[in-house]
Amino acid sequence: MHDFRFAVRTLRRKPLFTLLVVVTLALGIGANTTIFSLLHQTLLRPLPYAEAERLVFVWNTYPLMGLAQAGVSIPDYLDRRDQASAIVDATLFTGRSLSLAEDGRPEQLRALVVTPSFFSTLGRQPALGRGFDEKDAGGERVAVLTHTLWTTRFGADAGLVGRSIQLDGEAYDVVGVLPADFELPSRDIALLLPFVFTPEQMSDGERGREFSSMIARLAPDATPATLDAQMATIADRVLDRIPARRAFAESSEFGG
């Protein structure tokens, strides 16, 4: 519940990153869809991502439970990423708190735990070093620092990339530093860590554990309506395969 509340709270703070919600798709295990449009002309400045107009947030929704925008479970994310041809890339992320211990000065930090596809989905890469790769998602202890943490705590030392820092008593290799204009869900996020999925987390038993958020990049010829239709098909497949979930889907007003 703490992680879920963090996800909702940070998205409500509405920094520029939250304006990625060009289209909100209510997907879940049902097919109900709600669309909210944000006109590009109303933004104070362009979003700092490549072809930002193709980025969409993907949500679960529970209308009869008062949740218009809930999180996404890991198996939901995997279904959508792998089965929707309207999506060319997607990322899942969640929040985490940890302690940085350097030079005898412990500091509590907020981290964003992201899939390696975070950078390719947004179309941005670190200014120094690299982002995460699939090897990192296997459990490597690596970190990408924000520009703010790099400058305020490490004196903008370019030699920090390739060295390790102490996080929660463990050594993490610093593999990259974000650009100064890289927008994140909350301004207090200090670093990124790789999102590691366990076999249990990828199983159907994890459906309903919606503590994460998902962003997808639409294919060049895809529209939100195309993705919406594909999500409905994916949702039907889940209900056909797990009929025990159908009663909950109907009582939550999933399926329209």
Identify whether the C-beta of residue 75 lies closer than 8 Å to the C-beta of residue 207: yes
Confidence category of residue 239, pLDDT binned at 50, 70, 90: confident
Identify whether the C-beta of residue 33 lies closer than 8 Å to the C-beta of residue 58: no
What would the pLDDT profile of 121-145 be if each residue is shown by its tens digit? 999 999 999 999 988 888 889 999 9
φ, ψ of residue 153 in degrees (nearest 5)? -100, -25
The alpha carbon dihedral of 161, 11, 183, 109 has a sign of negative
* Angle (deg, nearest 10), helices 74-83 and 224-241: 120
Confidence category of residue 255, pLDDT binned at 50, 70, 90: very low
pTM of the complete model: 0.81
So what's the pLDDT on residue 27? 45
φ, ψ of residue 21 in degrees (nearest 5)? -75, 70
d(C-alpha 198, C-alpha 175), whole Å: 23
φ, ψ of residue 138 in degrees (nearest 5)? -85, 0
Structure tokens at 12: 């409500």
The per-residue pLDDT of the chain, averaged, comes to 81
d(C-alpha 78, C-alpha 73), whole Å: 9
So what's the pLDDT on residue 23? 44
So what's the pLDDT on residue 231? 84
So what's the pLDDT on residue 254? 59
Which residue has better confidence, 249 or 24?
249
Structure tokens at 238: 């889940």
What would the pLDDT profile of 150-190 be if each residue is shown by its tens digit? 999 999 999 999 999 999 999 999 999 999 999 888 889 99
So what's the pLDDT on residue 165? 96
Flag whether pLDDT at 62 surpasses 70.
yes
d(C-alpha 58, C-alpha 23), whole Å: 8
Residues whose CB is less than 8 angstroms from the CB of residue 240 and which lie 6 or more positions away in sequence, other chains included: none
So what's the pLDDT on residue 39? 31
Confidence category of residue 228, pLDDT binned at 50, 70, 90: confident
Q: Per DSSP, which regions of the chain are E strands?
A: 24-26, 55-62, 67-70, 87-102, 105-114, 128-129, 142-145, 164-167, 170-177, 189-194, 213-218
Q: Where are the domains of the chain?
A: 2-251
So what's the pLDDT on residue 60? 80
What would the pLDDT profile of 183-210 be if each residue is shown by its tens digit? 888 889 999 999 999 999 999 888 888 8
d(C-alpha 219, C-alpha 113), whole Å: 25
